[in-house]
Chain A
Amino acid sequence: NAGVTQTPKFQVLKTGQSMTLQCAQDMNHEYMSWYRQDPGMGLRLIHYSVGAGITDQGEVPNGYNVSRSTTEDFPLRLLSAAPSQTSVYFCASSYAGQGFYEQFFGPGTRLTVL
């Protein structure tokens, strides 16, 4: 049982480039979400999904796209990277509604946009 896994661990992009951060979980959790953490701050919700085929926006969704074609995977796409997107990105999953159930987090992806 690997829990929540994220790839890559580190990434450097140039402004305007696009990329996809991968997230997978093997706990058969319905809910998955993406957060970003900026220096000295708590985590802020980007997008979340309540099940395969269903996604919704969080606090800071601009510049990011998500899709959920399977229960296990929830990739986060940066369409045109900007320096303001330099951050650490965490993926999380839970059995059901993240407002109600315990959340489990992946190890994070540290992204730098030059």
Chain B
Amino acid sequence: GENVEQHPSTLSVQEGDSAVIKCTYSDSASNYFPWYKQELGKRPQLIIDIRSNVGEKKDQRIAVTLNKTAKHFSLHITETQPEDSAVYFCAGIAGGTSYGKLTFGQGTILTVHP
């Protein structure tokens, strides 16, 4: 099955700085990589995702990049704001399945200091 490793486990930045979270995956046939944001006591919220046929996707201050050769993908947040503080999870889906069996990373606690 798929194995997803996420780093760092905690990340602290100053408001306005950029933040980068990286995930590696094991299954070379994986084809879908979402990122979720979870605020304390709330449900995970899908913020961006990327499929294996593209190398980068942007949505305002958030971007995700995918390197299929190296089997890693990264979340980039620019111009960070205090409201970006949350736990971020990456996930991957093993190749060959269409039923959404996501494997999640362990999460990154992002703190943005005003």
Partners in one complex: no
